[in-house]
Amino acid sequence: DSGVTQTPKHLITATGQRVTLRCSPRSGDLSVYWYQQSLDQGLQFLIQYYNGEERAKGNILERFSAQQFPDLHSELNLSSLELGDSALYFCASSPGYLALTPGELFFGEGSRLTVL
């Protein structure tokens, strides 16, 4: 158990819909990262937050957005869903800002999104 909690574990929805994925980082971790894992794209970095502020952006679509709340949990919002958005979405956390305190990422078990 990594200490990172993601909900829901599974989600099935239709094209055009909007969903929200939730992540609770390990106790004390300030950084939250979102990754998308699909068969054809592998593990892609989407976005990172540190203590409530966006710190880095990867291959995140404009239809997707995220935020980190004062209690440090994070949400990833996916809108106008397309079939190609079907993937496993991982949240990871780390104690600090990786550039200053390099260390491992602690991954949750992922949220599997299926868009029909």
Partner 1 sequence: AQSVTQPDIHITVSEGASLELRCNYSYGATPYLFWYVQSPGQGLQLLLKYFSGDTLVQGIKGFEAEFKRSQSSFNLRKPSVHWSDAAEYFCAAFPTTNNNDMRFGAGTRLTVKP
**Cα 21 to Cα 32: distance, rounded to the nearest angstrom:** 13
Given the complex with partner 1, which of 31 and 74 has the nearer CB atom?
Answer: 31
**Position among 11, 45, 60, 67 found at the interface with partner 1 (CB under 8 A):** 45
> How many Å separate Cα 9 from the centre of its chain?
12
**Cα 34 to Cα 57: distance, rounded to the nearest angstrom:** 10
Q: Of all helices (H) and strands (E), which one includes residue 55?
A: strand 53-57
The site string for partner 1 over 75-94 (x = CB under 8 A, - otherwise) reads ---------------x-x--
Given the complex with partner 1, which of 37 and 79 has the nearer CB atom?
Answer: 37
Residue that the structure tokens 């999104």 belong to: 113
Q: Would you tell me which residues interact with partner 1 (CB under 8 A)? A: 2, 4, 31, 33, 35, 42-43, 45, 48, 50, 55-56, 58, 90, 92, 97-99, 102-105, 107-110
